[in-house]
Amino acid sequence: MSMTLVAVVDLVEAETGRQYEDRVLVLLKRHGGRLERRLRSTDGLTEVHLLWFPSQAAYDAFLADPRRAEIRAELGDGVPTSRVVQVEEVK
């Protein structure tokens, strides 16, 4: 069963946070996921991502992707924090 997620991303350090997101969002395709929408707050300190995955297993694989951990280690303390919520369309 496919899933849609909303990620609210707090960019602790705006430039480093954007670099991290730019690099990590590319990894979605490796796991069958896609970025439906990427929005940034007017102050540049928060991003909202609408993500789609074909299954929970695909999302779990994305989270466990070793490249994500490598990027996080490369960028250090300035990487963003996020809160992810599974959502569904209201009809």
In what helix (H) or strand (E) does residue 22 lie, and over which residues does it extend? helix 14-25
| Residue 48, pLDDT score | 98
Show the domains of the chain with their CATH numbers: 3-86 (3.30.70.100)
In what helix (H) or strand (E) does residue 25 lie, and over which residues does it extend? helix 14-25
Q: Are 37 and 47 in contact (CB under 8 A)?
A: no
Query: Looking at this protein, which amino acid is placed at residue 74?
Result: E
| Residue 12, pLDDT score | 85
pTM exceeds cut of 0.85: yes
Please list the pLDDT of the chain residue by residue as tens digits (91 residues): 999 999 999 998 989 999 999 999 999 999 999 999 999 999 999 999 999 999 999 999 999 999 999 999 999 989 999 999 999 999 9
